[in-house]
């Protein structure tokens, strides 16, 4: 069973791209007693090696990213309001009115021109990021500069809730994947395996690009979350995947054509372990596989994703069932790949 208590601790840690330190420290504390070798790369990735009962026939790397989407302060106005840019692919429609934390502990709220001052045309459109600001309560630039500087990270404030068999939180992409990798490291493995907890996925796959170069794997399993549009008003053929229907296997996205044999092997692993599994019914998005599969001479790659509603927003939703079943599937799939099937 995937560790939900650990997931809560990781989701509550703040770690936008380039500021993954708090997340990394939690992961290191969890895996160091179990991994045989742990390395921190210059960019900040964690590469962990876990010795199994047998030497792997295929050198396998399992990958999850530590960073989350967020914002960064770019400018402080004379009146103390903060201008910002997004870090990663955030839907600007969800920004206005959201509570945030600037740096480690400065509370703020994202604001915009009051609705009663908008033109009829402005009311029909999402507010551009350039017209938004963060209000921390400072009345002057000097007051704001005493606690905030350009370049400071900004993260959403959100709950962590597990009612109704689901999990609601920010940063489920990809802290849920990190938990699955941690859980596997803590187990007795049938074969030697490499584990990569990488940085800066949301801003260009920078961590996975360098991790794959250093690790030089023959095969990779990328563990992530993917968009589920199974909501009212979306036609069935546009829903991509369904929360509660099991982990998602992709045949292709905008960055990767996945290894066809491993794609089928993932479904075989699901059947062998008795868990649900579904195909990602869209060629959309991308993940660390985009950098890993073209590293060095090429890496055979498969992605196993958690269906996730409201991805890259202040609060996302995944199913507890999907979370547990993804770990079961990945454990079996890793055994099959490392064993040379």
pLDDT band at 244 (very low <50, low <70, confident <90, very high): very high
Q: What is the largest CA-CA distance in the chain?
A: 68
Give the chain's count of helices (H) and strands (E).
9, 16
Rg (CA), the chain: 21
pLDDT at 34 over 80: yes
Cis peptide before 263 (omega within 30 of 0): no
Q: 111 has which bridge partners?
A: 133
CA distance 216 to 1: 30
Could you read off the pLDDT of 122-158 as tens digits, one per residue? 676 778 899 899 999 999 999 999 999 999 999 999 8
Which residue did the predictor score with more confidence, 262 or 121? 262
Domain boundaries, the chain: 4-68+170-338, 70-156
Alpha carbon 259 to chain centroid, angstroms: 22
Backbone angles phi, psi at 267, to 5 degrees: -70, -35
- Whether 20 and 199 have beta carbons less than 8 Å apart is answered as yes
pLDDT at residue 122, rounded to an integer: 67
Q: What are the tokens at 8?
A: 């809560």
Angle between helices 320-338 and 260-273 (to 10 degrees): 120
- pTM, whole model, 2 decimals? 0.95
Strand pairing of 219-227 and 60-65? parallel
341 is catalytic: no
pLDDT at residue 92, rounded to an integer: 84
Q: 87 has which bridge partners?
A: 70
Mean pLDDT of the region 233-247: 92
Q: For residue 23, give the nearest of 36, 9, 33 by alpha carbon.
A: 9
Active-site option among 201, 202, 327, 331: 201
Q: 198 has which bridge partners?
A: 65
For residue 153, the tally of other CB atoms under 10 A from its CB is 20
pLDDT at 322 over 90: yes
Which stretch of DSSP H or E encloses residue 70?
strand 70-76
**Residue 45, CA distances (Å) to 38, 51, 78, 175, 199 in order:** 10, 20, 38, 14, 6
- CATH second-level architecture of 70-156? Beta Barrel (2.40)
Query: In this structure, what DSSP letter does residue 23 have?
Result: H
Mean pLDDT of the region 55-78: 97
**Which fold would CATH assign to domain 4-68+170-338?**
Aminopeptidase (3.40.630)
């Amino acid at each position: 069973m995937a560790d939900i208590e650990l997931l809560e601790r990781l989701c509550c840690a703040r770690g936008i791209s380039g500021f993954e330190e708090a997340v990394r420290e939690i992961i290191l504390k969890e895996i160091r007693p179990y991994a045989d070798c742990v390395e921190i790369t210059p960019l900040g990735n964690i590469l962990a090696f876990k010795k199994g009962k047998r030497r792997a026939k295929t050198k396998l790397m399992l990958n999850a990213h530590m960073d989350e989407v967020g914002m960064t302060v770019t400018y402080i106005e004379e009146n103390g309001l903060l201008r910002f840019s997004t870090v990663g692919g955030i839907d600007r429609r969800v920004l206005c009115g959201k509570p945030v934390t600037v740096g480690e502990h400065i509370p703020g709220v994202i604001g915009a021109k009051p609705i009663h001052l908008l033109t009829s045309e402005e009311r029909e459109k999402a507010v551009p990021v350039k017209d938004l600001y963060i209000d921390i309560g400072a009345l002057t630039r000097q007051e704001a500069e005493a606690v905030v500087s350009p370049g400071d990270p900004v993260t959403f404030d959100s709950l962590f809730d597990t009612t109704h068999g689901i999990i609601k939180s920010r940063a489920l992409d990809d802290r849920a994947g990190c938990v699955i990798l941690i859980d596997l490291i803590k187990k007795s493995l049938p074969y030697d395996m490499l584990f990569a907890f990488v940085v800066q996925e949301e801003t260009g796959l920078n961590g996975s690009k360098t991790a794959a170069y250093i690790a030089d794997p023959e095969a990779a399993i990328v563990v992530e979350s993917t968009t589920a549009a199974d909501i009212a008003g979306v036609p069935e053929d546009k829903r991509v995947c369904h929360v509660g229907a099991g982990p998602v296997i992709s045949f292709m996205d905008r960055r990767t054509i996945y290894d066809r044999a491993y794609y089928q092997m993932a479904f075989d692993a699901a059947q062998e372990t008795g868990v649900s599994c579904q195909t990602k019914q869209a060629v959309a998005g991308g993940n660390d596989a985009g950098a890993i599969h073209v590293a060095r001479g090429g890496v055979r790659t498969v992605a196993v994703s958690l269906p996730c509603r409201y991805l890259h927003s202040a609060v996302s939703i995944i199913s507890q069932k999907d979370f547990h079943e993804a770990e079961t599937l990945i454990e079996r799939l890793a055994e099959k790949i490392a064993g040379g099937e």
